[in-house]
Structure 1
Amino acid sequence: MRGRWAFVPALALFSVVLCAVAARAQGEGGRHGPGFGERALQAFIDGVQFGVIIAITAVGLSLIFGTIHLINFAHGEFVTIGATFAFFLNVSAAGPGWHLIPAALAAVAFGALVGWAVDRGVWRPLRARGTGLINMFIVTIGLSLLLRHVVLVLYGNRPASFAQYDIQQAIELGPVGITPRDLTVTLLSVLVLFALAVLLQRTRIGTAVRAVAANRDLAEASGIDVRRVVSIVWMAGGGLAALGGIFFGLVEIITWDMGFKLLLLMFAGIILGGLGSAYGAMVGSLVIGVVAQMSTLWFPVDLQYAWALLVLIVVLLLRPQGILGRRERVG
């Protein structure tokens, strides 16, 4: 276990070094704009914020893969559905005009309902018929296209933003700045991830989820209601994806294909952290977010996702099972 978390002191040391560099560069760059150290620290803070949002959306996808070994290509649409449903309740002229907080809570509940309905109406019948994983993966692609274009018809193709917390003055924290909205989103994301970790480790349902992910047949033989666990995982995945979509819409903007754009980064975080591991999805997503943002210090913003995926390739060449994944014997 100690080896798995060896990255934590390294990440902390990296943060301290950045702070020291930024403090030294603050005086040097004060007259000529931000120095490299300040920009590096700001990019690191932005990367942590981006990474925890990716982690919230990716954890549900990882749990789904861990329990039923399905690569859900439609998971990105759950992200979009959460953001657009909250937008409908908060901003849309046809909606009730709720404040963003109750609108977000309702959207998370709606995302969980969508996850449960998709499992109950699509995946459970397919599993009962013994449909192969490759065929089910193809079905997820078709479901992704269907949901994405339903959102396009209902929401439209114009980018939009929520009514509250749109334009804010940044809080200066030494050499870096962050708006109260972004700081709140980051802290809430960390709290949600921490609560999810406690849920998985300290509760009966969390133990059941981990048991099903480890060995479905043995879990069922032990008396665990596997179908109920899978339904709960789908609901959790849909709710977390919706919450991540709301957070991403707050810090960026709401579009009809925002979830699809995040999907590749979700997969990258899951694979980098270790397939089927919720904690691996958190760590991998954080690494992807930090690398994507810090790459903008040297390269164009349009290439930030490409460099994040390059890091994924390099890590997998050195450690094929991912950061927190386990080695498996083949043959």
Structure 2
Amino acid sequence: MPDASTACVQGVVKASTGDPAPGVDVTLSGGGGDETATTDDAGRWAFPVTEAGDYTVTIDEATLPEGQFLKSVGTRDVVVELNSQASALFPLTDDPNAADAAAAAEKPDTDDAASAPAKESANSFSWPRFWQQFVSGIRMGLLIALASLGLSLIFGTTGLSNFAQGEMVTMGGLLAAVFMGLTGNLWMAGLLAVVASAGFGWAQDKVLWKPLRKRRLSLMQMMIVSIGLSITLQYTFQFLFGSGVIRIDKSTAETITIAGVTLTTQSYVAMGISLLAIIAVGLGLMYTRFGRATRAISDNPALARASGIDVDRVINIVWVVGGGLAGLAGVFFGLVFNGLNWFTGGTMLLLFFAAVTLGGLGTAFGAFVGSMIIGMMVELTNIWLPGDLKYATALLLLILILLIRPQGIFGRKERIG
């Protein structure tokens, strides 16, 4: 705590969604020198000051979270008096042109034509921003597809809508943060998190779902069990990790600009590995013995069992694959969006279900296509809609398509009655 002759300059950096922005570098200039601090998990920063006077606070734009930009200029001048506190706030936005618009607005207007750009909406359309959001939509779609594939495979083989899939995603990210602290190697931490998530999928089926299937519980009863498991895992995560943002890699990620689109190196790696994993699952389903057995069970479980297929073993492997994919998605969500918390998976769960339903329940290829559509809708509508309201458009699209084609894009019509 500051003593009687000490003042404090402090503030909070928050993303456009209202979530804290950890890992942002802030510099305080004045008093004969410069000091640098990094925002903590709550987005807070602070400097103790021992001399009264004028100081300048500057935020390092290169350390802002992916997809976040300064809403106005990145410097603040503060007057510090001893035995007091001074604050400097830096609001963030998802509009890369907001700072330029704010700077233009501060300039004296010479005529109405010159002031027009300053009056332009912060959410106005521009082609550079469109392409930035377009690539971000591809990235979001690939991450959603990882979790949605597992969800679709589980539904296809068991008929279960697993509401705990979001928490399996959260678990992957949190485990990666734990293993990162133990090993200090990001690649090793990610690999261990995926393996542990796959193991959790195996144990989950062996301990919970297989006994429930043997007791012939209805799908409605099993769905309610999955909701209970989801809630239990959520509050277990909150108890163990707290409600703050957990960062997997606390170092500053480098950015790469390609054709005017700027993403972190972690985003490019996440997109590449996600695409490879999705292709591997698709090829496995098409050309391996396990894939043929999975498709047979999805089409007709009773006939598959009568044909000599070990249905329980195939379903258990599906849970392992689904857990591994969810864990991998959690690792990438934590890296790409600079952290996650106990409810990250719960926030994304409706998007996972929307992707699976939109593409066609139980079809892996449909889950992928549905995920890409949802990812694009979420990111592109962010050009015009603020904050989390962008998620509503994806769900609205789902409703509209299901009104026209209830079985989804690649689903098959079924005769009822």
TM bucket, shorter chain: 0.7 to 0.9
Cross-structure match for 1:237: 322
**TM-score if structure 2 supplies the norm length?**
0.69
> Is 1:153 aligned to residue 243 of structure 2?
no
Corresponding residue SS for 1:178: strand
Cross-structure match for 1:69: 159
* Shift of residue 124, structure 1, vs aligned partner: 0.9
Q: Distance in 2 between matches of 1:35 and 1:312?
A: 24
Q: Distance in 2 between matches of 1:214 and 1:155?
A: 41
1:188-199 superposed matches below 5 A = 188-199=273-284
Cross-structure match for 2:287: 202
Structure 1 ranges of 4+ moved more than 3 A: 31-35
* Shift of residue 54, structure 1, vs aligned partner: 0.5
Give the count of matched residue pairs: 297
Structure 2: state its 5+ residue gaps. 1-100, 105-116, 119-123
Cross-structure match for 1:273: 359
* Conserved 8 A contact 2:163-2:227: yes
* Conserved 8 A contact 2:402-2:408: yes
Which of 125, 128, 131 does residue 38 from structure 1 map onto? 128
> Is 1:306 aligned to residue 392 of structure 2?
yes
Q: Distance in 2 between matches of 1:180 and 1:74?
A: 30
Identity %: 45
Cα deviation, 1:251-295, whole Å, max 9, x if unaligned, reads 112211111111110000000000011111111011001000000
Cα deviation, 1:188-211, whole Å, max 9, x if unaligned, reads 111110111011111111111111
> Is 1:211 aligned to residue 292 of structure 2?
no
* Conserved 8 A contact 2:125-2:383: no
Cross-structure match for 2:369: 283
> Is 1:54 aligned to residue 108 of structure 2?
no
Q: Distance in 2 between matches of 1:302 and 1:223?
A: 49
* Conserved 8 A contact 2:173-2:248: no
> Is 1:329 aligned to residue 398 of structure 2?
no
Counterpart residue identity of residue 200, structure 1? L
Whose helix fraction is larger, Structure 1's or Structure 2's? 1
Q: Distance in 2 between matches of 1:86 and 1:178?
A: 21
Which of 334, 339, 348 does residue 249 from structure 1 map onto? 334
Counterpart residue identity of residue 257, structure 1? F
Q: Distance in 2 between matches of 1:176 and 1:100?
A: 25
* Shift of residue 168, structure 1, vs aligned partner: 2.9
Q: Distance in 2 between matches of 1:35 and 1:183?
A: 25
More divergent stretch after superposition (262-271 vs 96-105): 96-105
Cα deviation, 1:132-177, whole Å, max 9, x if unaligned, reads 111111111111111111111112211021226x423422212322
Which of 232, 235, 259 does residue 345 from structure 2 map onto? 259
Corresponding residue SS for 1:269: helix
Cα deviation, 1:94-115, whole Å, max 9, x if unaligned, reads xx23311111111111111111
**TM-score if structure 1 supplies the norm length?**
0.86
**Aligned-pair RMSD on alpha carbons?**
1.8
Higher relative contact order (CA 8 A, sep 6+): 1
Which of 225, 239, 258 does residue 173 from structure 1 map onto? 258
Q: Distance in 2 between matches of 1:78 and 1:302?
A: 22
Counterpart residue identity of residue 49, structure 1? R
Whose strand fraction is larger, Structure 1's or Structure 2's? 2
1:102-141 superposed matches below 5 A = 102-141=188-227
Q: Distance in 1 between matches of 2:197 and 2:302?
A: 29
Q: Distance in 1 between matches of 2:266 and 2:202?
A: 31
Corresponding residue SS for 1:324: coil
Corresponding residue SS for 2:257: strand
Q: Distance in 2 between matches of 1:208 and 1:70?
A: 18
